[in-house]
Amino acid sequence: MAYTPENLTITPRDRRFGRGTKQERWWLGGDPVATAFYNALSATFPKGEAFFVESVRAFRDAAPPKLADEIRAFTTQEVMHSREHVAFNKRALEAGYDLSELEDRIDRRLEFVRKRPPIVNLAATMCLEHFTAILANQLLSNPKHLRGADKESGDLWRWHAIEEIEHKGVAYDTWLHATKDWSRRKRWKVKARVMLFTTRNFVVDRSRGTLALLRQDGITGFRAWRKMLWFAWINPGMLRKILGAWLAFFLPRFHPWKHDDRNLIRLVESDYAAAILPQPATA
Ligand SMILES: [Fe+2]
Ligand SMILES: [Fe+2]
């Protein structure tokens, strides 16, 4: 908790995106691979974020007042993210994609983890929140990732990313408080094991999800694998680019706020951003 900035405010921004608009099937730069990658991610959010909320809220009553307030703001943000990704996923459905296979996989993962003790659920959430925070940092640091996105979808992903950065310490601080009587060694062992497990599932499941969506575009077999791996690991290479930040999680005394990246929030919310962010591909 010592690392969370004193002047941090977690501000839920109640925004809605793309209502009443028809989304192009390949909304991201007309590229089926980029679209599949982000659609696969979005498919997981409504249920995944509901799980994050229940995992962290289970520890709210025992939290000190400041942390309890942050948990409240975190909850409000995640609930709104779920709402907007439900709407986004509906537009993907209307554009012709069937996400049910991806959603079933999430159901199975959550069914498994919910049988574990609350502290394990909190640890899984803390790990996945680190994932979302470093993805968000990369998404906002490098305009290449969302280049050519339609305006509403691009705005949705940027909005989600800034709030993920803003609340990135909440699950972690909740974990630090909940395990304050544990030895440093035990804490590290549990969090490292849970991180390796969730990372393996995250990478495998999102890759399978991306391939499942590419199949719906008639891209299959070796060609699909090659395109998916190229996109994720080489160019623009989101997974490669977050590797260093992912590894930092294993350092002794890691804390998400040891890297203060609120400048990205200010950048996206400034008028300056309007001038430098990529313009929509179509008028
Ligand atoms: Fe979120
Ligand atoms: Fe989050």
The pLDDT, as a whole number, for residue 283 is: 41
The pLDDT, as a whole number, for residue 281 is: 54
The pLDDT, as a whole number, for residue 15 is: 95
The pLDDT, as a whole number, for residue 270 is: 87
Question: Separation of 219 CA from ligand 2 center, angstroms?
Answer: 32
Q: Locate 79 and state its tokens.
A: 């609930």
**Residue owning tokens 């919910």:** 114
Q: CB of 28 within 8 A of CB of 153?
A: yes
Q: Is 22 exposed, middle or buried (0-12, 13-18, 19+ CB in 10 A)?
A: exposed
Global confidence as pTM: 0.94
- Give the span between the Cα atoms of 148 and 176, in whole angstroms: 40
Question: Separation of 278 CA from ligand 1 center, angstroms?
Answer: 23
The pLDDT, as a whole number, for residue 280 is: 57
Q: Is 279 exposed, middle or buried (0-12, 13-18, 19+ CB in 10 A)?
A: exposed
Which ligand neighbours the alpha carbon of 13 most closely? 1
Q: Locate 84 and state its tokens.
A: 């907007």
Q: Mean pLDDT, consecutive 10-residue segments, the chain of 283 residues?
A: 88 94 94 98 98 98 96 98 98 97 96 96 98 97 95 96 98 97 96 97 96 98 98 97 98 95 93 59 48
28 DSSP β-pair partners: 149
- If you write DSSP's letter for every residue of 25-67 in order, what string do you get? TTTBTT-HHHHHHHHHHHHHHHHHHHHHHHHHHTTTTTS-HHH
Question: Separation of 181 CA from ligand 1 center, angstroms?
Answer: 29
Question: Separation of 187 CA from ligand 2 center, angstroms?
Answer: 21
Which ligand neighbours the alpha carbon of 166 most closely? 2
Ion ligand 1 contact residues with beta carbon within 5 A: 78, 81
Question: Separation of 136 CA from ligand 1 center, angstroms?
Answer: 10
Q: Locate 126 and state its tokens.
A: 């803390």
Ion ligand 2 contact residues with beta carbon within 5 A: 132, 164
Q: Locate 271 and state its tokens.
A: 């008028």
Which ligand neighbours the alpha carbon of 168 most closely? 2
Question: Separation of 129 CA from ligand 2 center, angstroms?
Answer: 5
- Give the span between the Cα atoms of 88 and 85, in whole angstroms: 5
